[in-house]
Structure 1
């Protein structure tokens, strides 16, 4: 196992600087007849979303035509996030209003799942819209391995994550849920994935033909679930990772991170049930007692935190009608 992981790490780990020549990526894209979409999940990101869109569009649409489409997948923001994106000419979708016949769930994973329906390209890239130090490498770094190697279907970004506390910034310390929950669980139950540096990174992407066959957790378990599903369905060699240098964003509170960990644990347990094809953990508790402190007193706040999932997008008749009906008609006709 160690040799397998070491070999994968050496062959499928890239650096964003390997893809700095964006014109070469455009040439590869055109030679392969591919199109690329960027979907930006967002919830109340008015401080950063305009700079994210402007920086990426200027470099990867106007200067180099690497991206064929940029869309904002908004989770019903209450600030000016949507207005800013619309003013920049970017199509905006409120994910709760997309495919309404299937209901509207809260969570980033729901937005990512529905982005498959509203985008149109062969390759779909996701980056978070709260990146303070946005740079085009967050996109072209993820795209690069997919264009370089046709056998790579899914690419995860990784980076140094400074921990910002008030005005103080530590050079390391971010990614606490990654190191304390996600990576230990993967090492324990999916050791083949132990070389994935940041399984929870929000900068990643893949080929539509792969993504449309995967289930999507609707909350914070989405990254973990997709990574495990790609491995289970397509093998370790289908996954790559790329060093995106450093990512600065707004860090969350420990209480929020605790909830995130609770959801990620549920996601891993669900994938283990699918692997062994039996309900191993059907009786587990899905409510969490959160310790709160106020006015010199401790008290417990109970939160029901249930990680749900969505079926593969390709199983939806609306999706098949949009992307495959004409092709099937041509073949059968």
Structure 2
């Protein structure tokens, strides 16, 4: 599996030129639920650098799960297109969860490359976008790029600079080691910062909850091989640390997604089907613009 550093893509004028020469468009989706403390600064930072100053992004969208605070208003004031997930494909019904937002993003966003950044980042920087988009612009054989970083954990005894990622180390990495050893090379498989080609995302099912990133990796690996997946070092990410109860619920959703991908298992009823199986999507996107080139 190829690994990069965000510095490899920090020459934004050159990266934008390469994007335009390749005829690619790039969308950023920020999935949100009650992120009024961070969303405005995230949108302002990314928009200033990657839309206004360097035109890497062709679209910057906040897809919201029904926030009860000022998330949507603040995101719109900061310059994002803001839409509620329930208003996308409304005839498909309303489900809650991060995966639901991401699935709806594949339908709503128009880019050949779709990048995702979580809405709770406290130290936002454009590297969280160009670090994962850059490899897809420059390497046609890649289809899915994850970010990784140090995640400080606030504890009673102080700050543990590497204490974040508890679910990864306790649950996901042991599962990958036993059942999907190729994927153990990923430093942070649950990272919320990643980018993928539309042609990859439209062809895989999406768990509606927190199992979505685990499911993505397994499905992309099986469909395209480990050579289609890469990762980029994004240095450090600061965000709110979740409670053990939250992590327990997250772990349960990850287990559901994982077990449904074991041999002879069937997909959970909570999963959304591949987007390209919907006639409405095929009408909106008659052909995927940038298929992954599988190595011989």
1:185 equivalent in alignment to 2:175: yes
Are the structure 2 counterparts of residues 168 and 79 from structure 1 closer, same or farther at C-alpha, using a change threshold of 3 Å? farther
Match of 1:317 in 2: 279
1:24 equivalent in alignment to 2:25: no
Cα offset, 1:172, TM superposition: 1.8
Deviations 1:220-279 (A, max 9, x none): 00000001110000000000000000000000001111111111111111011xxx2356
Are the structure 2 counterparts of residues 33 and 173 from structure 1 closer, same or farther at C-alpha, using a change threshold of 3 Å? same
Q: Which has the larger radius of gyration?
A: 1
Structure 1 residue runs of 4 or more that deviate by more than 6 Å after TM superposition: none
Q: 1:316 & 1:32 partners in 2: Cα distance?
A: 28
Cα offset, 1:164, TM superposition: 2.1
Of 184, 188, 198, 1:194 maps to 184
Deviations 1:179-227 (A, max 9, x none): 1011111111101111011110000110001110011010000000001
Q: 2:84 & 2:52 partners in 1: Cα distance?
A: 26
Alpha-carbon contact 1:263-1:307 (below 8 Å) kept: no
Match of 1:65 in 2: 55
If the length of structure 2 is used for normalisation, what is the TM-score? 0.94
Alpha-carbon contact 1:36-1:69 (below 8 Å) kept: yes
If the length of structure 1 is used for normalisation, what is the TM-score? 0.84
Match of 2:24 in 1: 34
Q: 2:27 & 2:71 partners in 1: Cα distance?
A: 20
Q: 1:167 & 1:89 partners in 2: Cα distance?
A: 40
Higher RCO (C-alpha under 8 Å, 6+ residues apart):
2
Alpha-carbon contact 1:221-1:307 (below 8 Å) kept: no
Q: 2:74 & 2:274 partners in 1: Cα distance?
A: 32
Q: 1:173 & 1:307 partners in 2: Cα distance?
A: 34
Deviations 1:273-331 (A, max 9, x none): xxx2356xx9xxxxxxxxxxxxxxxxxxxxxxx88210000111111111118x9xxxx
Q: Mark the runs of 5 or more structure 2 residues left unpaired by the alignment.
A: 290-296
Bigger Cα displacement from structure 2, 260-269 vs 70-79? 260-269
Aligned length: 288
Cα offset, 1:153, TM superposition: 0.3
Match of 1:176 in 2: 166
Are the structure 2 counterparts of residues 307 and 52 from structure 1 closer, same or farther at C-alpha, using a change threshold of 3 Å? farther
Q: 2:183 & 2:106 partners in 1: Cα distance?
A: 25
Bigger Cα displacement from structure 2, 115-124 vs 83-92? 83-92
Q: Mark the runs of 5 or more structure 1 residues left unpaired by the alignment.
A: 1-7, 283-305, 328-333
Of 252, 268, 271, 1:262 maps to 252
Match of 1:298 in 2: none
Match of 1:121 in 2: 111
Partner SS state of residue 146, structure 2: strand
Match of 1:242 in 2: 232
Alpha-carbon contact 1:52-1:129 (below 8 Å) kept: yes
Partner SS state of residue 162, structure 2: strand
Are the structure 2 counterparts of residues 61 and 169 from structure 1 closer, same or farther at C-alpha, using a change threshold of 3 Å? same
Alpha-carbon contact 2:259-2:265 (below 8 Å) kept: no
1:95 equivalent in alignment to 2:57: no
Match of 1:74 in 2: 64
Match of 1:51 in 2: 41
Alpha-carbon contact 2:31-2:119 (below 8 Å) kept: yes
Bigger Cα displacement from structure 2, 188-197 vs 82-91? 82-91
| Superposition RMSD in Å | 1.7
1:149 equivalent in alignment to 2:149: no
Q: 2:265 & 2:79 partners in 1: Cα distance?
A: 48
